[in-house]
Copies of this chain bind each other. A is one copy, B any other.
Amino acid sequence: VRRLPAKQVHDRAALDALLDAAFVVHVAVLDDDGRPYVVPLAAARDGDRLLVHGSTASRVCTYLSTGAPTCATATIVDGVVVARSQFESSLHYRSVMIFGSFEVLDGPAKQAALAKLAQCLLPGLSQARTPSARESAATAMLAMPIREWSLKVSAGPPDDVASDVDLPCWAGVVPLRHTFGEPIDAPDLASGIEVPAEIATWPSGRA
């Protein structure tokens, strides 16, 4: 199986679609010895910036709050490419690396970003109680401009070398589907409260 072959894509709309579909980004942080770590963070796109949040007590937020250079990478696997050779077999995927540094948001900017993040993770749901002062204080809200980025997309049929095309094996793509299943009521849900209609319209393809 080949290393992930992909095309560099310069289409900002494709980048936005990926970020809007991805629930998490993987962010790079360095420990005190300069060793790199990769930490998943729930993320949302707000126009031209990437929002992440975390506990103010967490190491990752402490690190990112310094404005240190980092990279946030979002990847969604869209399918498996079955070629006639192992070498040309690969994955359909989209991945973006966003380079830069995060800035800590405070005050009204923080509240607005928290609301935006909630809307991205729970689209259409507005009934949930907004954060209390204590909850807000426990949450670090960070934003990084979407300015320097590298988007790679692997799509299309297998690209077998001519001498392999006649091999007697199947070739094609097996799509990977990301869909929402039946909502599961909380055990302590009061009777008579139905699943909101908004959830039924959550777009598939999120991962």
Q: Which residues of A contact B (CB under 8 A)?
A: 1-4, 23-24, 26-30, 34-42, 53-55, 58, 61, 69-73, 75, 77, 79-80, 82-87, 89-91, 93, 95, 97, 99, 114-115, 117-118, 121-122, 125, 127-132, 135, 139-140, 157-158, 160, 164-190, 193-196, 199, 202, 206-207
User: Contact between B170 and A193 (Cβ–Cβ < 8 Å)?
Assistant: yes
- Complex: chain B residue closest to A165, CB-CB: B188
From B128, B172, B185, give the contact of A83 (CB < 8 A): B128
Sample 28 A-B pairs with CB under 8 A, ordered by A number: A3-B58, A3-B140, A4-B40, A4-B41, A4-B42, A23-B80, A34-B34, A35-B70, A37-B71, A39-B97, A42-B90, A80-B122, A82-B183, A85-B131, A86-B131, A89-B121, A127-B167, A166-B190, A169-B196, A170-B196, A170-B199, A171-B186, A172-B184, A173-B183, A174-B184, A174-B202, A177-B177, A179-B179
Answer whether A167 and B93 are a contact pair too, CB < 8 Å, given A77-B23, A174-B181, A174-B202.
Answer: no
Residues of the B chain whose Cβ atoms lie less than 8 Å from the Cβ of A179 = 176-177, 179
Give CA–CA (A148, B33) in the complex, Å. 17
Q: How far does the Cβ of A111 sit from chain B's closest Cβ, in whole Å?
A: 11
Q: Main secondary structure on chain A at its contact with chain B?
A: mixed
User: Contact between A176 and B207 (Cβ–Cβ < 8 Å)?
Assistant: yes
Residues of the B chain whose Cβ atoms lie less than 8 Å from the Cβ of A86 = 114-115, 118, 122, 128-131
User: Contact between B158 and A170 (Cβ–Cβ < 8 Å)?
Assistant: no
Each complex incorporates copies of this chain amounting to 2
Answer whether A121 and B35 are a contact pair too, CB < 8 Å, given A40-B73, A129-B85, A135-B85.
Answer: no
Residues of the B chain whose Cβ atoms lie less than 8 Å from the Cβ of A75 = 24, 26, 40
Give CA–CA (A130, B135) in the complex, Å. 55
Q: How far does the Cβ of A87 sit from chain B's closest Cβ, in whole Å?
A: 4
Residues of the B chain whose Cβ atoms lie less than 8 Å from the Cβ of A89 = 118, 121-122, 128
From B34, B193, B195, B207, give the contact of A178 (CB < 8 A): B207
Residues of the B chain whose Cβ atoms lie less than 8 Å from the Cβ of A130 = 85-86
